[in-house]
Amino acid sequence: MESIDNNRITIRPAKPEEWDNAMELAFRVFLKYESKDYGKEGTQAFAEFVTDPMLKKAFDSGYYVVFLAFIDDVLVGMIGIRNGNHISLLFVDGNYHNLGIGRKLINKAASYLRSNTEFSKMTVNSAPVAKDFYHKLGFTDCGEMAHKDGIIYIPMEMDLYCDC
């Protein structure tokens, strides 16, 4: 895809009626880019996570924060924040990769955390395929590659107050 005028990209909090579309986007992008690394067990665990009614309940009550990225009126990306400062879902539709949308979502999450929490770090369990992306944005590994329920991840963190 060619570059997109930044004025056409909007990042905003998700509305309750957009939940299903956001989780569908996350699962669709996961299937295309990550599931091959995780196999059946990891794919099943991810599917259970994005369809977990408790996650939706946490979102509805404000404990799970979700921001959505749109180009014009088309949903192209999403980021979820749980446990106060942990990115649990960051996905951008493959048709819109390399346009800075992931960076904008991270920046929005960081801005939100700086304004609304006492946390000094933002954390993420990076998929192996996303490791370089997170490193470019200033995240550093804070643990060894790990496996849980078929999901492979690298624990990372970023100082929210560093001009890295």
Strand stretches in 14-120, DSSP E: 65-71, 74-82, 86-92
For the chain, the domains span: 6-118
C-alpha–C-alpha distance, residues 63 and 82, integer Å? 7
Across the chain, mean pLDDT equals 93
DSSP secondary structure letters along 4-40: --GGGEEEEEPPGGGHHHHHHHHHHHHHHHTHHHHHH
> What's the rounded mean pLDDT across residues 2-22?
88
pLDDT-derived band at 158 (thresholds 50, 70, 90) equals very high
102-142 pLDDT, tens digit each? 999 999 999 999 999 899 999 999 999 999 999 999 999 99
Instruction: Give the model's pLDDT for residue 3.
Output: 66
> What's the rounded mean pLDDT across residues 5-28?
94
pTM: 0.93
Helix (H) or strand (E) holding 46: helix 35-50
26-76 pLDDT, tens digit each? 999 999 999 888 889 999 999 999 999 999 999 999 999 999 999 999 999
pLDDT at 163 over 90: no
Assign domain 6-118 one CATH number from 3.40.630.30, 1.25.40.320, 3.20.20.70, 3.40.50.1100.
3.40.630.30
